[in-house]
Amino acid sequence: MNKRDVKSFYPPPTMATQHPDNAAPPYWGKEAYFTAEEEVEECYRCFKELGCREYMWDWEGKYVDEAAADKLLTQYTSFFKRHPLGGEFFLTIRVPNIWFEKTTRTARAFMSVTTAQDIALELDLPEAPVFQIILPMAERAEMMVEVQSKYSEVIKAKCVAFQSDLCGPLEVEIIPLVEDVDRLMNMGEILEDYCQQLKSKQNSVRGFIARSDPSLQHGLVPAVLAAKVAVNEQYLFQKKEGMPVYPMIGVGSLPFRGGLTPYRCKEFLKEYKGIRTVTLQSAFRYDYPLADVKKAVRYLNRELSGAAEITPDPLDKELAAELNHLFSPLYRKTIESISPLINSTSGHIPARRERISETGPLGYARSMGRKSLPRGVKFTASLYSLGIPPEIIGTGRGLKAAASAGLLDHLKKVYVNLHHDLKTAGSYLNLENLAFLAASHPALHDVEEDAALVEEYLGLKLEPTELHHFLHRNHVSNIYHLQGAGENFDSEVIAAALCRRSLG
């Protein structure tokens, strides 16, 4: 098969993902935990019932039903005859990064792309239902080119082995997922290098901007600023190379991981102007009333449609970098110091998907310096469960430093939702827990200072203001006391997560 003609391709505005951040069960099930088998049904329901236009099938760090695409097309053939996969709806594979996960799972993911085409042809459905692959931790253009090359080798070997020319698509497009603040700040260079190394020019490129890992590594403010710079970098690349860009952003519901909820869509799009695809993670889909979720998905599909003309606001890259250098070290020093506390709590955060162990031979956790950390959802959930929203850590001291450097007004102008995000996170702060924990973890005295400085910046107290905030405070107080007594507190972790409508 020849390479898919994507000249008329316009990326879907909404991508449902398998990120395990839901506190509650899905509206169609009884358990909050998903098996690999249930993800097939989930994908279909995201398309048909929620109106999500794309679904990410994740092979990175989790177990996968390798016949998922086959089952999807065979179990719901009549739906996909009316609404073609690869035409009206999209299935996009995220593969493991072969430089970090040394297994054959990437090759197996490649085969799932070609078997999806096999089954589509058997069922007389449009060919090439899957034609894009997400590469996580895309640090260099060479990685993208090599993955593209390895995919072609695998598929060509299949063609030779089975003496067939209908075993493609022979080529796929790579979506680079950039997860590091410094690389996000220079995303245009990565795309430019990729464009120059391609043997055959793509018609467009979708640069995927991470929000969770940059926050985990550098804190709230640097993650937001890096993401906004990365949007601008892509449009500057488009202007220079003449290749259309369709920036994507991966976000959760809590401010630390992006702050996209069914009730904050308009404000979110104002913050990340220029984005063309947003991820709707599990908490967005399952921790809010179904009618509100559907309404929000319709709004996002409309506002980010191909007809909408969207350009980012101008942004001073140098000033953003200067601000990041003020905030990041303060955050990182504290997180490294309290990493044992975070890790001891993360073991009590419930699993929501069939993930591979983060520390085993097939997995990889996150790290900071010499300290290992849980991945984004469990990291965020651990700190919220302790009553210490990670949005606060390093931010108060960073605001003070920004004011001293004469950059505070610039920050407020650039980070549109800063006041709201800090107020939202601060409503879940448990100052009593923080004081208790600081007695045995002295680095948390800096977080006490952060809280006081954020209160000064906002001109209000960081405290519960609504019923679910007060209930959350009670649950995380219970967690502290039960943890100290060596008692089980897993049910309190879930109860607190339900209050904030997200696990992490």
Q: What is the pLDDT of residues 443-496, one digit of tens each?
A: 999 999 999 999 999 999 999 999 999 999 999 999 999 999 999 999 999 999
Output the six-digit token pair for 92. 């996009």
Residue 378: pLDDT over 50: yes
Q: Where do the structural domains in the chain lie, given as residue ranges?
A: 53-170, 317-500
Residue 144: pLDDT over 60: yes
Q: Are 430 and 473 in contact (CB under 8 A)?
A: yes
Residue 60: pLDDT over 50: yes
- Alpha helix ranges (H) inside 198-249: 212-218, 220-241
Band the pLDDT of 8: cuts 50, 70, 90. Answer: low
Lowest-confidence pick of 41-50, 201-210, 328-337? 201-210
- Cα 189 to chain centroid distance, Å, stands at 22
| Distances in whole angstroms, Cα of residue 168 to Cα of each of 36, 92, 119, 126, 200 | 25, 15, 12, 13, 17
pLDDT of residue 200: 59
3-state helix, strand, coil in the chain (%, to 5): 50, 10, 40
Band the pLDDT of 155: cuts 50, 70, 90. Answer: confident
- Of residues 118 and 391, the one with the higher pLDDT is 391
The model's pLDDT over 117-127, given as tens digits with 9 standing for 90+, comes to 888 888 888 77
Lowest-confidence pick of 80-89, 200-209, 287-296? 200-209
What distance in Å separates the CA atoms of residue 91 and residue 5, rounded to the nearest whole number? 17
pLDDT of residue 320: 97
Tell me the mean pLDDT in the region 332-361: 86
Tell me the mean pLDDT in the region 288-299: 98
- Of residues 274 and 110, the one with the higher pLDDT is 274
Tell me the mean pLDDT in the region 39-57: 97
Residue 385: pLDDT over 80: yes
Q: What is the mean pLDDT of the chain?
A: 90
pLDDT of residue 362: 38
pLDDT of residue 363: 46
Query: Which amino acid is it at 412?
Result: K
- Of residues 157 and 360, the one with the higher pLDDT is 157
Most confidently modeled range among 12-21, 142-151, 192-201, 298-307:
12-21
Tell me the mean pLDDT in the region 31-55: 95
Residue with tokens 């709590």: 345
What distance in Å separates the CA atoms of residue 238 and residue 109, rounded to the nearest whole number? 30
The neighbour count for residue 122, using CB atoms within 10 Å, is 11
- Alpha helix ranges (H) inside 280-316: 282-286, 290-303
Residue 202, classified by CB atoms within 10 Å of its CB into exposed (0-12), middle (13-18) or buried (19+), is: middle
Residue 261: pLDDT over 50: yes
Residue 168: pLDDT over 70: no
pLDDT of residue 354: 82
Residue 3: pLDDT over 50: no
What distance in Å separates the CA atoms of residue 497 and residue 504, rounded to the nearest whole number? 8
Pairing of strands 132-135, 173-178: parallel
Q: Are 225 and 319 in contact (CB under 8 A)?
A: no
Lowest-confidence pick of 146-150, 291-295, 393-397, 426-430? 146-150
Tell me the mean pLDDT in the region 428-439: 98
Express as a percent the part of the chain with pLDDT over 70: 92
Omega before residue 169 within 30° of 0, cis? yes
Tell me the mean pLDDT in the region 365-371: 71
Q: Are 291 and 263 in contact (CB under 8 A)?
A: no
What distance in Å separates the CA atoms of residue 307 and residue 13, rounded to the nearest whole number? 11
Output the six-digit token pair for 319. 């000033």
- Of residues 470 and 107, the one with the higher pLDDT is 470
pLDDT of residue 428: 98
What distance in Å separates the CA atoms of residue 112 and residue 436, rounded to the nearest whole number? 51
pTM of the model: 0.94
